[in-house]
Structure 1
Amino acid sequence: MRMIYDEKLAQAAYLIGCQRTGEAVVIDPERDVDRYIDLAAANGLRIVAAAETHIHADFVSGSRELAERGAKVYVSDEGDADWKYQWLDKKVGGGSYKYHLLKDGDSFRIGNIELRAIHTPGHTPEHIVFLVTDHGANATEPIGMATGDFVFVGDLGRPDLLETAAGQTGAMEPSARRLFKTVKKLGDIPDFVQVWPAHGAGSACGKALGAVPMSTVGYEKRFNPAIRAAVTEQGFVDFILTGQPEPPMYFANMKRDNKVGPPVLGGLPKPARVTVDALRRLDAKAVAVIDTRLWDDFRTGHIAGSLSFPLTKSFNTDAGSMVRDTDDIYLVIEEAQLEEAIRDLIR
């Protein structure tokens, strides 16, 4: 197992492979999937599957990109009609992707590796986690659990986003009550099972995520404040809904795009170079001009109407919140930073 971590979005994907068959699955991939393909190849693996814990609101999923490359997709079939993946039968060029819809308790294998889905609603209605068991090592119990946005190190996934980000009035309290019931499912999971969360410190998907990348079920039961608050239902609801940060403005659009299916890129975009004179002739009200230079450099002179978003840790959130997803984007950037910015923008 390898964690692939995006420091800017505080997002973790997991590459899990079987050494016997050379096959691998990626859980919760971001959109620039070449990173996972290269990592798999470096370890003698090929990616045959992509799996998702839920319809994400904070990054663009890469499952469709991997499906275009032949991977089979495993996603939740829980929740009502509002929480179904709509792109699975809309393959580019016609037809359907290879996919399997998972209900609570369903499992699938990648070589000797078994992944069993457990329905864990609360953060979202369709949310599932994956219990991972390595039968090649003659294990009869799971080694780890890819928890998505259910359990983080030191926190739980916030249940208010359907209301605060997606605009579903009155959704947060029922979601919090579902999360309370879901927390009780941790009692059925051995304490030694590792917790592999989808986010770390800095993510807006919770209010107090820890900086440690992984944990165990037993440790979180003992020391996770949100889990410890799950004594009475009302006490838990009050705790989990208090103090949640303001969600970024793009969360609603991101969840929509991941449900209907983000456009397939097929690789990293390669933007054309434009001249300074051409940039100056642009109408900054009709397009988005993002200036990635540091603030002091920006102040010395910039294109009228351009946005000052230095290529720092907040770049994704700044651009995602202030630039419409339909805008043409022009970058003022050093060539050495171009690939980093492109990856940030497509995520």
Structure 2
Amino acid sequence: MKIEQIYTGCIAHAAYYLESNGEAAIFDPLREVQPYIDKATKDNASIKYIFETHFHADFVSGHLDLAQKTGAKIVYGPTANPNFEAIIAEDNQEFKIGNYTVKAIHTPGHTLESTCYLLTDENGKQHGIITGDTLFIGDVGRPDLAQKLVSDLTQEKLAGMLFDSLRNKIMPLADDLIVYPNHGAGSACGKNMSKETTDTLGNQKKVNYALRANMTKEEFTAELLDGLGAPPAYFPQNVLMNIQGYDSLETVMNKANTPMNAAAFKAAAGQSEALILDVRHENEFIKEHIPGSIFIGLQGNFAPWVGALIMDVKQPILLVAPEGKEKETITRLSRVGFDNCLGYLEGGIETWKTAGFEVDTIISITPEQFAADKDTSGLAVIDARKPGEFSAEHVEGAINIPLDFVNDQLAEVPKNADFYLHCAGGYRSVIMASILKARGYHNMINVEKGISGIRQSNVPLTKFVCPSTLN
């Protein structure tokens, strides 16, 4: 018997592979399912079940492709109503995987159908629990996603359900039980997740704020909802794809894996209203890029930023990618439901330049140049980091316009005067610069290395001071 976590860092996602005595199960699979099939083949096992903890919002699950390829049965918890054949488990219903037992425990709160799966080994020992987005390491799932699709449920009602699920279904379990969550730090499905991706339930009872002893439902709800930002716009669209179905990954790949010469690429951009997405490194984009293209580099949190900033999963996309990275880019777009990729620029930016087409640049300076020029230039400074990062430490007098909300805060961006733009390390500021340039703003000066570089210069920074240190 073995239980294996399969973690994908770029979207902070954990799937699980369980194998016992020639049978296997996959929990919360990603869109690309061949690695799971290969694991089972290596173990001489057949995949019997595909367990889903809930209808995911932050990625498109691979349940349909995996079921079609293996004949495995898809399992959801109570109240789920998918538009495809699936087993809708009853609360406490048990499933056999070889000598292992998987018990479905209905834990509504994050969503109505949210279900955890308790794992019991061949000796009757409860080994672990796959918790989906019900319980994370250091946090619990946000309750404001499902209510976007179910109008009669408020986030307060779902938070109350989650409180009951945790207290009545999860916390009474043994302290040595291993918690296997669906996400880790970096996911937008919670707000305080640990970088650790597993822990014992007993330790979580000690350190997780949401499992605090003697906590009232009202206190739980208030703490859970405090500080929640708006969920990314693509979340409801991914939920609907997971409920209603989607094209196979092979269909998406065959459509998108279309090389285009520069002339064809330019024509496609003009005829289809496609967005040109450049996924190279930010330093390459700064140096030269196709005018009007949007930068979101593969080396960062690529897929979540695509979903947060492009928003409509049906948006036609044309790719500028590093040579050999085209298929990887298409795959990673498909993970968050962006299936309408029309093709890519064969030969990359060099092909575009060879054809004699125009390129654009971003003015970019070192932190040392910023330090030397800031006071005498009198230019505004825009900080593209999240509010919490900004509050902890920022350049004196800077304006905080988080990248997530640049489309909502365009009025705060100087239109007729140059301004400095930075983030934490240089990735997000270039994304923002590309978005601003596509909207007609060409007056930004990007600060390389962001606050990490500025911190090493002599630019004064405003730091958060804990009130307790003022006494």
Same fold (TM over 0.5): yes
For 1:291 and 1:187, the matched residues in 2 are separated by 46
For 2:34 and 2:214, the matched residues in 1 are separated by 40
For 1:338 and 1:280, the matched residues in 2 are separated by 18
For 1:240 and 1:319, the matched residues in 2 are separated by 26
- Are 2:155 and 1:183 aligned? no
Matched residue count: 328
Aligned to 2:50: 50
Displacement of 1:167: 7.5
Structure 1: runs of 5 or more not aligned: 89-98
Aligned to 1:111: 98
Larger helix percent: 2
Alpha carbons 1:54, 1:124 under 8 Å: kept: yes
Aligned to 1:85: 82
Q: SS at the partner of 2:165?
A: helix
Q: 1:195-344 alignment to 2 at 5 Å?
A: 195-228=179-212, 231-266=215-250, 269-270=253-254, 271-283=257-269, 286-321=273-308, 322=310, 324-344=312-332
Displacement of 1:268: 7.1
Check 1:230–1:123 CA distance in 2 against 1; reply closer, same or farther (3 A cut).
farther
For 1:116 and 1:249, the matched residues in 2 are separated by 34
- Are 2:166 and 1:157 aligned? no
Q: SS at the partner of 2:32?
A: coil
1:280 counterpart letter in structure 2: K
Structure of greater relative contact order (alpha carbons < 8 Å, 6+ residues apart)? 1
Q: SS at the partner of 1:175?
A: helix
Q: SS at the partner of 1:152?
A: coil
Alpha carbons 1:220, 1:227 under 8 Å: kept: yes
For 1:188 and 1:74, the matched residues in 2 are separated by 28
Alpha carbons 1:289, 1:331 under 8 Å: kept: yes
2:188 counterpart letter in structure 1: A
Check 1:328–1:168 CA distance in 2 against 1; reply closer, same or farther (3 A cut).
same
2:124 counterpart letter in structure 1: T
Q: SS at the partner of 2:242?
A: helix
Query: Higher mean Cα deviation, 168-177 or 126-135?
Result: 168-177
Alpha carbons 2:249, 2:334 under 8 Å: kept: no
1:192 counterpart letter in structure 2: D
TM-score (norm. length: structure 1):
0.89
Displacement of 1:84: 1.1
2:290 counterpart letter in structure 1: I
Alpha carbons 1:158, 1:206 under 8 Å: kept: yes
Runs of at least 4 residues of structure 1 off by over 6 A? none
For 1:170 and 1:59, the matched residues in 2 are separated by 23
Identity of aligned residues (%): 35
Displacement of 1:219: 1.0
Aligned to 1:93: none
Alpha carbons 2:47, 2:72 under 8 Å: kept: no
Structure 2: runs of 5 or more not aligned: 336-471
Alpha carbons 1:32, 1:268 under 8 Å: kept: no
Alpha carbons 2:234, 2:311 under 8 Å: kept: no
For 1:266 and 1:230, the matched residues in 2 are separated by 51
Displacement of 1:212: 0.9
For 1:229 and 1:255, the matched residues in 2 are separated by 33
CA deviation digits over 1:39-65, x for unaligned, max 9?
A: 222333332321101111010010101
Displacement of 1:274: 0.7
For 1:336 and 1:283, the matched residues in 2 are separated by 22
Check 1:191–1:77 CA distance in 2 against 1; reply closer, same or farther (3 A cut).
closer
Aligned to 2:119: 132
Displacement of 1:133: 1.1
For 1:268 and 1:281, the matched residues in 2 are separated by 21
Alpha carbons 2:29, 2:62 under 8 Å: kept: yes
1:342 counterpart letter in structure 2: I
Q: SS at the partner of 1:61?
A: coil
Check 1:296–1:166 CA distance in 2 against 1; reply closer, same or farther (3 A cut).
farther
1:336 counterpart letter in structure 2: G
For 1:336 and 1:229, the matched residues in 2 are separated by 52
Displacement of 1:101: 1.5
CA deviation digits over 1:128-147, x for unaligned, max 9?
A: 10001122xxx223101000
CA RMSD of the aligned region, Å?
Answer: 2.0
CA deviation digits over 1:174-231, x for unaligned, max 9?
A: 0011111111122331111110000001111111001111011111112111111761
CA deviation digits over 1:242-261, x for unaligned, max 9?
A: 12243221001001111111
Check 1:249–1:140 CA distance in 2 against 1; reply closer, same or farther (3 A cut).
same
